[in-house]
Amino acid sequence: MASHIGKLPVTIPAGVEVKIDGQSFTAKGAKGTDSYEIPEGITAQVEGNEIILVPADDLRPTRAKHGLARSIVASMVKGVHEGYAKTLDIIGTGYRAQAKGKGIEFSLGYSHTITVEPPEGIEFELPNPNQVIVKGIDKQAVGQCAANIRKLRAPEPYKGKGIKYSDERILRKAGKAGK
């Protein structure tokens, strides 16, 4: 038995350059360059316009790493070609975001404003004061940065106020019944 995900080849789109040097994998595309250290026991090969990852043995830890490595390589190739973005909506009276240099300043109902600076390789876009778009080539970094912003004021279940992902549904609760 081999990893179901690991067996799948990764297609290299036009405009993406791939370099494999031992266990080091580098992808270069229109959006930038990203590199990854492939785990021991897994080898990567380029055949035509596809990347194939081959495990050295069929042990359980190797199978797990095989699937993980393939998923990370596929995410990197997509990231340098198209990039990743997560959209956050800010809901609530007086809750807003505004650009401050490269970072964002949030007014979220606290006694102070909160300033968030983008990590390396991440950029913010503010189409309006109630929406933030987190962009980058690293899928994990984009998701983590968006999660950190959401955590500043997570949506509450009664009125739905807070910061939520644009595709997220907030389960609403009924308020307490009056007499």
CATH code where residue 18 lies:
3.90.930.12
Q: Are residues 88 and 160 located together in one domain of the fold?
A: yes
- Exposure b/e, 138-154, CB count within 10 A at least 16 = b: bbebbeebbeebbeebe
pLDDT digits (tens, 9 = 90+) for 42-71: 999 999 899 999 998 888 889 889 999 999
Q: Are residues 33 and 76 located together in one domain of the fold?
A: yes
Q: Is the pLDDT of residue 3 over 90?
A: no
Q: Which of 81, 101, 124 is the last residue of a domain?
A: 81
Q: Are residues 95 and 155 located together in one domain of the fold?
A: yes
pLDDT digits (tens, 9 = 90+) for 104-159: 999 999 999 999 999 999 999 999 999 999 999 999 999 999 999 999 999 999 99
Examine residue 173 and state whether it is found in any structural domain, yes or no.
no
Whole-number percent of the chain with pLDDT over 70: 98
Examine residue 178 and state whether it is found in any structural domain, yes or no.
no
